[in-house]
């Protein structure tokens, strides 16, 4: 399995290849190769900043001579007019790295901002429920998007299909029921020497009873009402972790959290997020001033 660093490097290399191709002809035609400059990353709307550490990798992978000075670190709250970092070096390099850096930072910051909003609302409501992400991520950007969820105060559900067993409706139906699915998962882990947590999705009371009888690490209540969720949590009685999923939104999540579930998963954190507005401007430009 590739490390996070290796996956990030591959993403950056592919992104530069698709953006620059055989050359940034706009920059090359009008900017001398030896011209030096400085650009600053300007925040244009409030939120949680994320992607600073990745941005440093982007700059240095493209041009190791670029000098990056960070003023605001990942996880900090920002407001319009804040300067996150400045970058000095070859002007050509500043122009060619601008879009990739912004694409990554705007998306990661948008995810972190939304996650923080969800998690803080659950805390303010007096619950102990944690916000989880899903695998509904942008292809190639999963590691960065899940890191943004953590920066925003949420938790990662699983990275992929390899680090946890999640028995969902289709697995259960193809397998012939919850009992078969969980028992085969346990046997698989034993046969292959895998120490993987097993989570099982349940859609009704019969499946919940089967999951509890067979035993697993976490049970996911799929499309339960808040009232049924409360009953289900009471039935589980701490024997395993509990999670709510299925069409839950920011506006409807509080009753589920107050029902006592440990986790609520939200695909919207990564599949429907809007990037945080920011820009990368030449130092001294009058556009650095928010009007």
Q: What is the dihedral of CA 102, 104, 109, 111, to 10 degrees?
A: 140
Measured CA angle at 13 (ends 22, 39), to 5 deg:
80
Would you tell me how many other CB atoms lie within 10 Å of the CB of residue 139? 6
Exposed/middle/buried for residue 76 (C-beta within 10 Å: 0-12, 13-18, 19+): middle
Nearest 5°: phi and psi at 161?
Answer: -80, 0
Non-local CB neighbours of 13 within 8 Å, separated by 6+ positions: 61
Measured CA angle at 156 (ends 115, 130), to 5 deg:
60
CA pair distance 236, 234, nearest whole angstrom: 5
CA pair distance 215, 18, nearest whole angstrom: 48
* Residues 208/200, Cβ–Cβ less than 8 Å: no
Catalytic residue list: 99, 136, 168, 201, 222
β-strands 263-265, 241-245: how paired? parallel
- What CA–CA distances, in Å, run from 224 to 31, 205, 210, 213, 242? 60, 10, 17, 20, 12
């Amino acid at each position: 399995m590739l490390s996070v660093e290796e996956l990030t490097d591959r993403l950056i290399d592919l992104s530069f290849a698709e953006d620059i191709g055989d050359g940034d002809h706009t920059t090359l035609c009008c900017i001398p190769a030896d011209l030096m400059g400085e650009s600053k990353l300007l925040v244009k709307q409030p939120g949680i900043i994320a992607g600073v550490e990745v941005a440093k990798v982007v700059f240095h992978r493209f041009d190791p001579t670029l000098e990056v000075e960070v003023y605001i670190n990942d996880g900090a709250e920002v407001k319009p007019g804040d300067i996150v970092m400045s970058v000095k070096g070859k002007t050509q390099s500043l122009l060619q790295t601008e879009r990739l850096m912004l694409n990554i930072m705007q998306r990661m910051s948008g995810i972190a901002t939304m996650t923080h909003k969800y998690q803080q609302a659950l805390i303010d409501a007096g619950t102990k429920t944690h916000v989880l992400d899903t695998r509904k991520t942008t292809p190639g950007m999963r590691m960065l998007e899940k890191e943004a969820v953590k920066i925003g105060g949420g938790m990662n559900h699983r990275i992929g299909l390899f680090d946890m067993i999640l028995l969902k409706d289709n697995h259960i139906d193809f397998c012939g029921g919850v009992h078969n699915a969980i028992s085969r998962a346990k046997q698989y882990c034993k046969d292959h020497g895998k120490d993987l947590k097993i989570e099982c999705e349940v859609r009704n009371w019969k499946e919940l009873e089967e999951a509890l009888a067979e035993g697993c690490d976490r049970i996911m209540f799929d499309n339960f009402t808040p009232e049924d969720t409360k009953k289900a949590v009471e039935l589980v009685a701490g024997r395993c972790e509990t999670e709510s999923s299925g069409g839950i939104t920011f506006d409807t999540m509080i009753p589920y959290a107050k029902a006592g579930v440990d986790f609520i998963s939200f695909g919207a954190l990564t599949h429907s997020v809007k990037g945080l507005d920011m820009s990368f401007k030449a130092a001294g430009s009058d556009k650095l001033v928010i009007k």
